[in-house]
Amino acid sequence: MYHQNPDLLLKIFPIFLIFIFLEAVLIIGWKKQKYPWRESFVSFLIAIGHHLSQIIPTTGLLVLAWNHRLFTISLDFWWSPILLFLLIEFTYYWFHRASHRIRWFWASHLVHHSPNSFNLSAAYRLGWTGGISGSAIFFMPLAWLGFPPTSIAIALFLNLLYQFWIHTELIPKLGFLEWFLNTPSHHRVHHASNREYIDRNYGGVLIVFDRLFGTFAEENPTNKTIYGLTHPIKSSNPFKIALGEWVHIFQDMISANSWQERFGYGFAPPDWKQKNRR
Ligand SMILES: [Zn+2]
Ligand SMILES: [Zn+2]
């Protein structure tokens, strides 16, 4: 649902590739570290799959809400784009938090968290099934309030575009910007599976809602960051990475003993399964 402007993303993509390549040169030449070429290539394939998945029209839910809207908010007023930005950030925060804590949405989002290294190439390793799982539901209230579905889609696209540069280990903490912006430092924490970092820093452009709702964690340089999933996916097959969790949900539901358990496997937090088995 992000790419109401898929052509725009395609036009920008070569610029992303240049930055991804520059980052690789710096990691190898300057940091004297290995660059995970294979993982980056898999991210590239998954990004193509994500782009193709946008063929499924997902603005239907937004249009439905818009057709029953309370007001019509014109973006011509000076305050309305600012209001839209703040509401998008607020909604994105809860959408992203739900994407981590409700397995139904996690099945699409874990794809983004599957790389075991952290670099720019991971930014567009995005799930293929967000349209099917109905993630547009989170943004329906904005259309119902009176923001046009196309404006919501463009605002989400810009939110996603912003997040490209925060997927790197090369940029250190950025002083006072760390207070209110989502920065590379904050997003490194988000992609880590260390116990004290997991399920933290859900913000898109702003980090203020994490500070407000108690999900903020500061990067601690003495704590070695472990990137990726708590149960890493061993395969490099894009289909297994993008669709595997749905298969697991289906298998768990079939093997469940009650409807309560079946519901838990689908909609409880992803770690509910382990807790349930204990
Ligand atoms: Zn996430
Ligand atoms: Zn990310």
Q: How many folded domains does the chain comprise?
A: 1
In a domain, 201, yes or no: yes
In a domain, 47, yes or no: yes
In contact, 183 and 173? CB cutoff 8 Å:
yes
pLDDT recorded at residue 7:
67
pLDDT recorded at residue 278:
41
DSSP annotation string for 204-222:
SSB-HHHHHHT------TT
| pLDDT single digits (tens) 72-120 | 999 999 999 999 999 999 999 999 999 999 999 999 999 999 999 999 9
Confidence of residue 272 (pLDDT cuts 50, 70, 90): confident
Could you tell me the distance, in angstroms and rounded to a whole number, from the CA of residue 149 to the centre of ligand 2? Answer: 24
Could you tell me the distance, in angstroms and rounded to a whole number, from the CA of residue 20 to the centre of ligand 2? Answer: 15
In a domain, 93, yes or no: yes
Q: Which domain holds residue 197?
A: 6-276
| pLDDT single digits (tens) 58-71 | 678 999 999 999 99
In a domain, 34, yes or no: yes
Could you tell me the distance, in angstroms and rounded to a whole number, from the CA of residue 103 to the centre of ligand 1? Answer: 13
| Cα–Cα distance for residue pair 111/245, rounded to 1 Å | 9
In a domain, 156, yes or no: yes
| Cα–Cα distance for residue pair 261/243, rounded to 1 Å | 22
In a domain, 130, yes or no: yes
Confidence of residue 219 (pLDDT cuts 50, 70, 90): very high
Could you tell me the distance, in angstroms and rounded to a whole number, from the CA of residue 170 to the centre of ligand 2? Answer: 15
Could you tell me the distance, in angstroms and rounded to a whole number, from the CA of residue 257 to the centre of ligand 1? Answer: 31
In a domain, 199, yes or no: yes
| Cα–Cα distance for residue pair 207/187, rounded to 1 Å | 10
In a domain, 115, yes or no: yes
Q: How many helices (H) and strands (E) does the chain have?
A: 14, 0
Could you tell me the distance, in angstroms and rounded to a whole number, from the CA of residue 207 to the centre of ligand 2? Answer: 13
Does the pLDDT of residue 1 top 60, yes or no? no
Q: For residue 272, with 0-12 CB atoms within 10 Å meaning exposed, 13-18 middle and 19 or more buried, which class applies?
A: middle
| Cα–Cα distance for residue pair 109/190, rounded to 1 Å | 13
Could you tell me the distance, in angstroms and rounded to a whole number, from the CA of residue 159 to the centre of ligand 1? Answer: 14
Could you tell me the distance, in angstroms and rounded to a whole number, from the CA of residue 239 to the centre of ligand 2? Answer: 20
Could you tell me the distance, in angstroms and rounded to a whole number, from the CA of residue 277 to the centre of ligand 2? Answer: 30
Could you tell me the distance, in angstroms and rounded to a whole number, from the CA of residue 97 to the centre of ligand 1? Answer: 8
